[in-house]
Amino acid sequence: MKINSRLENKTLVLSLQGRLDAFHGGELQKVIDQNMSDQQVICAVMDMSGVDYLSSAGLRVILALYKNLRKRDGSLVLTGLQDYCRDVIEMAGFTPTLPQFSSADEALAFCRQVITEKNCLENWDALETFKADCGTFRFIPGSREPGVVLVMGDVKDVLYSRVSANHLCSKKFSETEYSIGLGGLGNQLEDYYPIMGEMMTIGGTMVWLPTDGHDTPDFLIPKKDTGQITLRTGFNVSISGGFNELMMFDSSEEGGTTITTLYRTLFQMARCRRPDFHGVIALAIRAQMSSVFGSGILKSPIVDFAPINGEMVTAPSNSADWFEFDHTPRHTDVTGLICGVGADLTADLNYYDQDMFNAVFYINPANVGGNDLQLHNHAVVFNQMPMASKAVNLEKEIRNIVDNGEFIDMRHLLDSSAINRGFLGVSYIQEFRPDPKGTRGI
């Protein structure tokens, strides 16, 4: 076996070629021991693209390195796994333990984020903060990738109830980490097409509100995305490129800060702080919500159910038959997972493709937040769970809620809903473009 090692920004990079068997596992352990004597090492990337055999002894060396790094609050990631080695790791039950990436660049980016998170926790009081009228924001660096909104379908097809079977697409759960839209679950067209409703995905979970008259959301939390069960959608908006900043927000307002005020403040801060802000942000929030005001569509907006008058389902003549709106809080003092996108209408939005931009936003007749912004958000609601005083990893925070929280509800979130505290992922959107991931047809 050939073993090359180097240190890169507190990350040990190991490139292996050959058989990782019992003998060469011992050789690898010597190289690891030499490098791990440096206490600055927090993460390791093991490039196994040249390894065609992995024994149990070799796997023990990998796991020993993993445990050592975990003691340092770091991580071990693997890249370039060949099929046999991947099968050995999966058979041994360590696939969830060891993150895997297809390229070294992706693995190094993951390690940089782990190191950033560790540094932020250790230097929490030194992080950049901003005190606004509504509360305090503490900033944590995020992804360097440009924020993108991927659009499948057009909200106007929903508003005019002209979604047909030909509009439908199927998407894998792993391709819709953060998204909102219209859809359902089921194997046959008749299982979901006539009862499609509000839908969102967050933390690998798909939640939807069937329009079957029971007002009871349904959800699925896959432990492994086999690709055999897909979400069905006629309109879907996904956040791509990661979150450029993470923020811990503490409201100073009695009764909490409304979604309208939160977005308006984020726009204000972005205009001052972010040269990559062009008027649109996308959010995912793990929130302590003081009040939840929701709305839900009552009919699947398919061509069969289109209003006879030809007007939009949101028109005053149709909205009472098509929507349910909360005039008092549906829920209070709960934990919410929010996903959405918002536009600052005072900005020059001609920066974006206008057809794609207009395919995302619409005016919900129950929102009265103001004419300076346009928002589109969904939320899944759980019984209140404790929130850490310090948080740096949004995916872990969301996954904890999904795995351990007591599910209550899912709604289109009205802008008057309010939060007391939240951990936000903010993506500064650079582009709207068609979603290439969906498979047309059922």
In this structure, which amino acid lies at residue 8? E
Q: At residue 226, does pLDDT exceed 60?
A: no
Mean pLDDT across the chain: 91
Choose the weakest-confidence range: 141-145, 146-150, 316-320, 326-330.
141-145
For 212-237, what is the mean pLDDT? 80
CA distance 417 to 277: 25
Exposed (0-12), middle (13-18) or buried (19+): which is 224, by Cβ within 10 Å? exposed
Residue 270's alpha-carbon distances to 143, 275, 423, in angstroms, are: 16, 8, 17
Please report, for the chain, the start and end positions of each structural domain, with discontinuous segments joined by +. 2-122, 124-442
The CATH code of the domain at 124-442 is 3.30.1330.80
pLDDT at 175: 65
Lowest-pLDDT choice from 44-53, 59-68, 89-98: 89-98
List pLDDT tens digits, range 177-189.
Answer: 799 999 999 888 9
pLDDT at 4: 93
- Determine the average pLDDT of the residues in 253-258: 96
Q: What is the pLDDT of residues 324-349, one digit of tens each?
A: 999 999 999 999 999 999 999 999 99
pLDDT at 204: 76
**Confidence at residue 174, expressed as pLDDT on a 0 to 100 scale:** 65
Res. 438 pLDDT band, cuts 50 70 90: low
pLDDT of residue 308: 95
Q: What is the pLDDT of residue 409?
A: 94
What fold characterizes domain 2-122?
A: Transcription Regulator spoIIAA (3.30.750)
Q: Is the pLDDT of residue 99 over 70?
A: yes
Q: Give the pLDDT band of residue 357 (cuts 50, 70, 90).
A: very high
Q: Which residue has the higher pLDDT, 27 or 439?
A: 27
